[in-house]
Amino acid sequence: YSFCTLLERAKKRKKRRKPSNMAALPGHVTIVGAGPGPAEYLTQAAVKAVKEADVCLHDRMVGSDVLALLKNDADIVNVGKGFGKPGRVMQMACNAIMTREAAMGKRVVRLQTGDPAIFGRMGEQLKHLTLNKIPYKIIPGVTAASAAAAAAKVPLTLKNSQQVLITSGQSPSVPSIIATLKNSGNIASYMCGKYLSSLVPELISNGAPSSTKVAIVSDAARETETTQVLTLSDIVKGKMEGTPDEQQTLCIIGEAANLPESLKAMEAYTADEEDGPKWEEPPLDGKEKK
């Protein structure tokens, strides 16, 4: 869509009213991390920025309760770049809207799912704003890896596993993933749902143990949230339930994904500590003691 078309669509949704002090306000852009979706995950700084915005450019996965925080006369433009979805808006058009609206003295909020610094094209946006001499501010948000880790009860690090590799499911580096697993590290693979079934066989063929656990989280922190923990072998055998959405699925691969099994074993343990057998925690690496 052209810049003009996007603005016209936004104007039709809300009747525009200029505040009396608009001319005195310096235009600027605030890039806001909206977290996993629901408004309860917004920081206080994010809530303040959203409530003060004159123009809001938001991702398609930003929650409706977040958009409800906007002023009645705010222009709202969906610039979601959903994979294969109609109404896709290119980044150049988004940049053009931010620049023009801020140059007119408006407070523009670029509302992005998760944290804008992680797979959020923040670098491209900052270059564009800097070249056009537009003041900006960045407010971080809860990234998908943190939301997924909380949902699946899988930490991103362990005492004996201090390495975390953040990668895109769309273009993963298999050698980097294998190297991380060999060093007892964990992998947070963003937007991996569509590509998981093709990635897993490649990992196994390159030396990853088929018993390696994978926590698959879709729609983290939303009412439609689902989690499942499988081995690489399970995924190859087609045991993964459903067809995870590419952009709304994150996978945590590695030793940390063994934790849910240990927690279930602890919950099932009911023997009296004094009279019954002593509890012995299963090893997180999945290896039995000799």
Q: Is 81 considered catalytic here?
A: yes
Q: Please give the Cα distance from 250 to 45 (Å, whole number).
A: 26
**Marked catalytic residue, from 54, 59, 115, 219:** 59
| Residue 151, both tokens | 């949902």
Which is the catalytic residue, given 48, 71, 81, 194? 81
59 in active site: yes
Q: Are strands 136-139 and 28-33 parallel, antiparallel or unpaired?
A: parallel
- Alpha-carbon distance of 152 to 104, in angstroms, equals 45
- Buried b / exposed e over 14-43, threshold 16 CB at 10 Å, is eeeeeeeeeeeeebbbbbbbbbbbbbebbb
SS (H, E, C) 123-189: HHHHHHHHHCCCCEEEECCCCHHHHHHHHHCCCCCECCECCEEEEECCCCCHHHHHHHHHCCCEEEE
Return the active site residues.
59, 81
